[in-house]
Amino acid sequence: MQNLDCAFIDCPYCGERIEMVVDCSVPDQEYVEDCSVCCQPIVVTVATSEGEVVSIEGRSEDE
């Protein structure tokens, strides 16, 4: 069973607060996920520890 957790970020394009589902079985990860509001690609950087999100950051692809 995967260890999933939810976290929120503000979209760097439209500013809306969006919920992200994070697989906490991977300690450090970076991936691209489209904003559920404006569909722009967000580069998501996540750090997890002991099955919980420690930090999450979203930035535009051109940053």
pLDDT digits (tens, 9 = 90+) for 20-53: 999 999 889 999 999 999 999 999 999 998 888 9
Q: So what's the pLDDT on residue 62?
A: 86
Contact between 9 and 22 under an 8 Å Cβ cutoff? The reply is no
Strand partners, 11: none
- Closest among 27, 19, 29 to 51, alpha carbons compared: 27
Q: So what's the pLDDT on residue 50?
A: 87
- 0.75 exceeded by the pTM? yes
58 pLDDT exceeds 80?
A: yes
The tokens 């535009």 sit on which residue?
Answer: 60
